[in-house]
Amino acid sequence: MSPVDTLANAVLAGDRRALARLITRIENRAPDAAAALAALFPHTGRAYIVGITGAPGTGKSTVVNALARTLRAQDHTVGIVAIDPTSPFSGGAVLGDRIRMTDLAGDRGVFIRSMANRGSLGGLAAATGDVVRVLDAAGFDIVLIETVGAGQSEVDIARTAYTTIVVDAPGLGDDVQAIKAGILEIADILVVNKADRPGADNTVRALRAMLELGHRLRSAGHHGPLLNQDDAPPEPALDLWTVPILKTVATEHAGLDELAEAIERHRAYLGESGLFEERARQRVQAELATRLREELLARLLDDRSPAAVADVIERILARRLDPGSAVRELLNGR
């Protein structure tokens, strides 16, 4: 048996150290990671993937930690991937892990991994997808992905989940500003954490108003295609899910049963409505596009000398070459 098969088999057999080792190889883009991922792929597709995102400091890690405990109490095994925007050396990741470790340490039904947000954004998305698949293959029932909803890449990662939870909290300044409109759009469940703090009900009200506005815009947008002719593309299944707004006090473990129940309801809704399959197809499409883009760019830049690329940049700056022609020139290898 090759070392790669051994590693993949060890992961399938529940070997924690093999799991950690493989994830490190994925992060480092070690060549043998790809083969292990290919071997594990047939064993994926069973885990339910939940994304947790929101502004910095809203309590995402604390919610993830508390949610994991609730899910464990319900006998689900839980894998956690935290995309940490801060360098491991600045304390962010270390602190986050310490918080979680105190609660979940020693529980074999939980596996926690934080990944530093380094390298290219597309690379991080691909690596996160791979790590989630490894946890899936390793047999975790539920995989939680924590990302800070600060940039597009984090939003994209959260969007790869089946159910996306957006966490807000009172006291982040202007309640409506605290949550970016783009993030609100991807929420299947809204959580107002730190509900022990003053202003929680205002945050709930502000979010509800924003949701209602977004909903009205969405339903207005649905009239056009419905009136179209026969050759119109098939109408996508209508998302009639009502986004619940839940209050939690993650530090006191309050509101977590309701959150777990909302995830379960959303999961059932996706299945019954046909949205689950539709989104699975969209996810595959999006992932292929991202990976192709990354891979093609990497290959092209491998082929071209840095001097050739620098030369093209200089000529564009001097207005002697337009960017479109520059791309064609680079592709044609002249």
**Local structure of residue 19 (DSSP, 8 states):** H
- Burial of residue 188 (CB within 10 Å: 0-12, 13-18, 19+) is buried
Nearer to Mg ion, 51 or 211 (CB): 51
Nearer to ligand GTP, 79 or 96 (CB): 96
Decide: is 197 part of the binding site for ligand GTP (CB under 6 A). Answer: yes
Minimum CB separation of residue 197 from ligand GTP in Å reads: 5
Residue 64: helix, strand or coil by DSSP?
helix
Amino acid of residue 222 = H
- Pick out residues in 297-326 that bind ligand GTP (CB under 6 A): none
Q: Name which position in 53, 58, 61, 164 contacts Mg ion (CB under 5 A).
A: 61
Residue 194 binds which entry of Mg ion, ligand GTP, none, with Cβ cut-offs from 5 to 8 Å by kind? ligand GTP
Residue 56 binds which entry of ligand GTP, Mg ion, none, with Cβ cut-offs from 5 to 8 Å by kind? ligand GTP
Residue 251 binds which entry of Mg ion, ligand GTP, none, with Cβ cut-offs from 5 to 8 Å by kind? ligand GTP
Minimum CB separation of residue 268 from ligand GTP in Å reads: 27
Nearer to ligand GTP, 66 or 126 (CB): 66
Cβ proximity of 186 and 164 under 8 Å: yes
Q: Cβ of 237: how many Cβ atoms within 10 Å?
A: 14
Amino acid of residue 186 = I
Amino acid of residue 161 = A
CA distance 104 to 145: 16
- Pick out residues in 54-113 that bind ligand GTP (CB under 6 A): 56-62, 92, 96
- Give the x/- contact pattern for Mg ion in 258-297, rule: CB under 5 A: ----------------------------------------
Decide: is 294 part of the binding site for ligand GTP (CB under 6 A). Answer: no
Contacts of 209 (CB under 8 A, 6+ apart): none
- The secondary structure of 61-110 as a DSSP string is HHHHHHHHHHHHHTT--EEEEEEESS-TTSSHHHHHHHHHHHHHTT-TTE
- Give the x/- contact pattern for Mg ion in 83-122, rule: CB under 5 A: -------------x--------------------------
Q: Determine phi and psi for 52, rounding to 5 degrees.
A: -125, 120
CA distance 193 to 152: 23
CA distance 102 to 247: 24
Decide: is 65 part of the binding site for Mg ion (CB under 5 A). Answer: no
- Give the x/- contact pattern for ligand GTP in 233-272, rule: CB under 6 A: ----------------xxx---------------------
Decide: is 148 part of the binding site for ligand GTP (CB under 6 A). Answer: yes
Contacts of 39 (CB under 8 A, 6+ apart): 4, 5, 8
For residue 224, give both structure tokens: 């056009």
Stretch that binds ligand GTP, among 114-122, 134-142, 192-200, 264-272 (CB under 6 A): 192-200
Decide: is 160 part of the binding site for ligand GTP (CB under 6 A). Answer: no
Residue 197: helix, strand or coil by DSSP?
coil
Q: Which residues bind ligand GTP (CB under 6 A)?
A: 56-62, 92, 96, 148, 193-194, 196-197, 249-251
